[in-house]
Chain A
Amino acid sequence: MIGGVLAVNLAFVVAGYALLGRRRWHWSWAGLALLVGAGAVGTLVFFATIVGLHASLWVASLAAVVLVALGAFGPGNRLVLGQRPAARVGPLAGALFGLVTAVCLLGIVGGFRSSPWLDDAWGICLPKGLALWHHALDPQLFVQNGAFVTFGVPDYPLWWSVVSSLDVQAAGDVDVRVMCAQLALLTAGFVGATARLLWGYVRPSVLAAGLALLVLSPELWRHVQGGVADLPLALYLALGVLSGALWLKSRAPFHLVLAGFAFAVALQIKTEALPEVAALVLVGTLFARRLAWAGLALLAALPWLLWRWIEDVPSRAKLDFTRADRLPDAVRAVSEHLFDPTEWLVLVPAVIVLALLARRPKALLVPGALVAVVLVAYWIDRDEIGYVLATSAYRVIDPIVLSAAVLIPLLAESFLQQREPLREDRALVGEPRDDRRVVQQH
């Protein structure tokens, strides 16, 4: 099982590096390469199933080859980043990076040794992926009918099912631990990608402390070991948020393209990604109108929406705004999970405090928009509110928390700059004009 999952992820990394372009062929981009490769290959295979192909390793290999070819001659090689001054890493930052690395390594070990505790993971997501392998997207199995026993939540897109299925195929046997292993690798990749993208934009001690706060959150690794689809959704949404925030500083097309790509992948993971991406793009346009280009990602939702329309698969959510009495319970449950220090430490309070201290309250619109989407979803949902909150509120907040987590280092750096405006290392965090110098970045 270990070799199979690692082989699949190695292919993801290769495809990711190809898409990132030669300028980023350096070990420090490996985390982002994994997220990009997994996102792109998983999405292509998912789209392939929509047109009748099977979600097999052969189809995935073909998708990877196409992506590598696209990367070799594609626009990734022309997407340059301004050079950031080399940051000096002190012993404290070094120790914190060591802590982050060790926790991620242990998290990966734990992922490979854990069977997902969430029954939706092994009972719905993975069986769907295995059916896509053997039967493709056969409406008999995926659309409710009188003859066949169909899968639950038929409106959910199938990226997580596809990726899990590829892992099982590579493992050679049905081993549900592949789901946690895959999530652990993606989560560690996300931490590495965040570090790489923020490097040079915030001082190393701030970056290391922000990452430590994230990886030490108990709920992060509990969700890894649960196999929950909300976590990869959160990883890609947060990657999009971070890329968009960095684009505001760099104005580098690479960051804007990466934001759009991450949002496009998020749309293939869960249905709530559609309003969440729309809300985030809307918030982005309040910062800079050109961030609306990231909204092109919404087009990536069309293949699945079209299939659902053709096969008459309705959304589970019904627009019933008459039951506003559900809102107080939803607000209470979501708040409890967001602010409970035994779940996500102080990630959410920290982003609020730092946004106010740094005089950047507008930044709170990002997690705020995601909170609004979650609350509206509970408002219009049909299921009994107590049940649905108890079974989902703890995990649908993942995108809120991770989006807050990637903003923390940027806000902390902004606050520190304001306090020490004459420091010599102000160049470290730079001004937008610094980034327009087109120099290769490693």
Chain B
Amino acid sequence: MAAEGESTLNGQAGRRTEATRSGVEDVGRRAMAYLWVALLLAILSFLVIYPVLTLLLGALTDTNPVVDGFSLRHLSITNFLTVLANPNVAEALANTLIACGGGTLIAVVIGLAFSWIVVRTNTPLKGLIAAASILPLFAPPLVAGVAWSILGSPKTGLINTMFKWAHLDWHVDFYSLWGLVFVFGIYYAPYVYMFTSSALRNMDPSLEEAAEISGASAFATLFSVTFPLIMPAIVSGMLLSFIVMLGIYGIPAVLGAPTNLAVLTTYIFKLTNWSPPLYNTAAAVAIILMMVTGALVFLQQKVLSGRSYTTVAGKAFRPRNLDLGPWRWFTFALGLVYLVVVVILPSLALIVAAFRKFMFIRDAASLFDMRQYSLMHFYSIFDNPLTLNSIYNAVEVGIITAVVGGALAFAIGYTIHRTRLAGRRGIDLISTVPVAIPGLVIGVAYLWAWIGIPGGLYGTIWILALAFIARFMPDTVKALSTSFLQIHRELEEAAWVCGKGMLGTIATIVLPLARPGVVASMTLLFVLSIRELGSSLFLYTSNTMVMSVLLLDYYEGGNLGKTAAFSLVQTVLLGVLIGGANWLARGAAQGSVAQRIR
């Protein structure tokens, strides 16, 4: 990820600064540096390497490492070859690539368009559009899947019911690959948006002005200056959304199941859910997923290496808004359409399902028959003591994950992008690995790896938090990286010259400048961990049940009404918590989530 050009350019200045320090201090610093790298590597070994090795062992043997002991006796690649030879795996892989590829394309178009509209234009009610752009992040994939199955089922979908009511001869079918592409695209646009909007905001507009003065049209400027400059953010957002889609279970589970349309995650889930479960085969399928992701990460490195993307330098600049004239109403309308499709329609679907006694809807008239509605599903979920427990646990895990994971990601990100310590490449690589492994599979590996640790980690909320920190480390480190890449080294050097130490520089220069990125990453981490399902399923115990597990329980228990009601509760709760964090951050400093998002 680190830009080669940047480090050589600034290397000389760095060396000169370092030369002014005394030799004794130098030795001490070097020892500290080794200790620091060793510490990070030790943490990463525990969080990443150890579980991944147990997973590999699982994929290459037919044993459960905990039950049968860690042994290499049964080592063979039979499992792996069987999986490779299975035509259904190939089909699932093809479906996965089409769904995620198409979804990413839509996500990039939407995310980039909205970040430009929000940050760079004078479109009316930008705040509303900004809020709409990130709202889908709050919806757990299972909820999104359920909402779109209520809307888009070919037989009973509300959209089809409304078409019939309006005497339109139209028909939608979301139980298809294209339905999957569409839902993936609109739900994962926020990832692209989050990356690109902060990059756009931090970019010095003088570069664009220069292009315009040279006679380039606004459109040409956009494609020749603006987008190329924020390329790391676009590529990171694209890559992350693709990878996240690769690992999503809820949406394809709901939309794909009725037509037996499998993607790799639903295939893996099937394997772990069958009786008897085929974990070792699941682990082997997971390795295919890991290889796809590994190839993508490699590609990203290739694309981004050898260039400099520093756009935040020691000069002040004023963000500038482009006057769109009457076209601003067009961009506004785009925002509204997105809001309706992504927020209003699915919310209405969930509200109907949550308040309706039974989801059999014969026609439009029955949809508006108020006698069919009641609070019965809400009474029933709050009558269940697990509901409140799960909310409390989820919030607790979310906060621990956000704080500890955020701090760790900052330490890792800083080490990778801001130092020249030996071993930082290794740290970069290891911290990227978890991205490639779907939660369902790594969940088992975490269980295998950590259950035996003395001190009783298993059965506590901490094992969940550790799993989330490990699983989402790549997301957080990558989200922070763009912030680090944008801060010019000259700012840090200024602090060193003024006699600040390493920690002092971080505290006074890097942290304040990267603050929007840090807060946004922690928020992201919080949201991701509240929504996380795959690993939680294996790691929760009787008193550490979390919301996402209970939600799956309601869904698998076949109660759409309760699922929808609990989804609404969860969505409102996330909204309130994030709104609150936002508000607190705004009060504390300029760089807040609100600003980053708006």
> Do the two chains bind?
no
A residues bordering B, Cβ < 8 Å?
none
B residues bordering A, Cβ < 8 Å?
none
